[in-house]
Structure 1
Amino acid sequence: MDIKSIEKKLNRYINNNVTSLSDLTDRVNALVLECDLGNNAGLYLYLGKTKLILINSNLSDSKKKIVLAHELGHAILHTKSSCAFNLTDSTAKAEIEANICTHLIVRKLDIFMDPTFRISTGEFNKLDDGFLRLQGLIY
């Protein structure tokens, strides 16, 4: 799926009433829970007609927001599939597409401008840092 197709799908969910990750979560109609996921930052599960997003409770609040945006990408792009956001491997096509969607969500909702969003030194690993730099989200 190319970036224009991803953006078109995302734009079906983001409108003037969607100004935060919480709003987008409601619009996507997903249930979000936090729990210890070991090496996984997050999971998107499609169970019947339920969109379930699990976020690793061991992550910082800032990283949880990035992971939520990523898992919302799966909910939007890969609705009927289940996907795991592994902290050490993000090379699968669905993961790359979700990363692109994450970038668009972060940009459209101005996540980094949210006063509750804070990144502390050393919070992200090399894979995260590379992704965020590649997307132009940090410099």
Structure 2
Amino acid sequence: MRAQQIIRLACDIKSVWKTNNPFEIAEKYGIKVLIRNVNIGDFKAQTLKMEGYPTIISINGLYSTLSQKVLCAHELGHALLHTEPINHFDVTTKNVHTNVEYEANLFAVALLCNEDEFNMPLAKMSNAVLKSILDCNVSYGQGEK
């Protein structure tokens, strides 16, 4: 999917559902979101898709509230953009720079932010820039940040 299409999808979703909250949007699409408390070093979040079963987004509950929202937005990108029947998305050092990760990062930033908050168009941002925007909002521990 091209960058402008992903940005348009995120904007349309915000407009239709009148929210940018990825937890609420996932519920509207019938996507189950599970919060699991696991060792921080082992797990952030993942999306599981299997034909005949509801899509599941699993998020580590030991991350802050804001972090969980960012992680959910990224995983929602996988759930909505990547339609292969069986997927297990888990960001590793091997796949962090792949196109599916770029698409999920772009979707998350477009969903959570307004383009006018940045000094360049979202479609021109590299995966490294998008990832850094998301990563600076992901931290360990309970609370708002």
- TM bucket (normalised to shorter chain) is 0.5 to 0.7
Relative to total residues, which structure has the larger strand share, 1 or 2?
1
Q: Residue 91 of structure 2 is aligned with which of 71, 85, 88?
A: 85
TM-score relative to the length of structure 2: 0.65
Q: Which moved more, 1:6-15 or 1:73-82?
A: 6-15
Give the aligned residue type for 1:77: L
Question: Is 1:47 aligned to 2:53, yes or no?
Answer: no
Q: Displacement of 1:84 after TM fit?
A: 1.1
Other-structure match for 2:22: 21
Q: More relative contact order in 1 or in 2 (CA 8 Å, sep 6+)?
A: 2
Q: Is the 8 A contact 1:41 1:86 kept in 2?
A: no
Other-structure match for 2:62: 58
Compute the RMSD of aligned alpha carbons: 3.2
Q: Displacement of 1:3 after TM fit?
A: 1.1
Distance in 1 (CA, whole Å) between partners of 2:100 and 2:89 is: 8
Give the aligned residue type for 2:100: A
Give the aligned residue type for 2:24: D
Other-structure match for 1:2: 2
Unmatched tracts of structure 2, length 5 or more? 115-127, 136-145
Q: Is the 8 A contact 1:42 1:53 kept in 2?
A: yes
Aligned length: 117
Unmatched tracts of structure 1, length 5 or more? 109-126, 135-139
Q: Displacement of 1:129 after TM fit?
A: 9.6
Distance in 2 (CA, whole Å) between partners of 1:130 and 1:12 is: 22
TM-score relative to the length of structure 1: 0.68
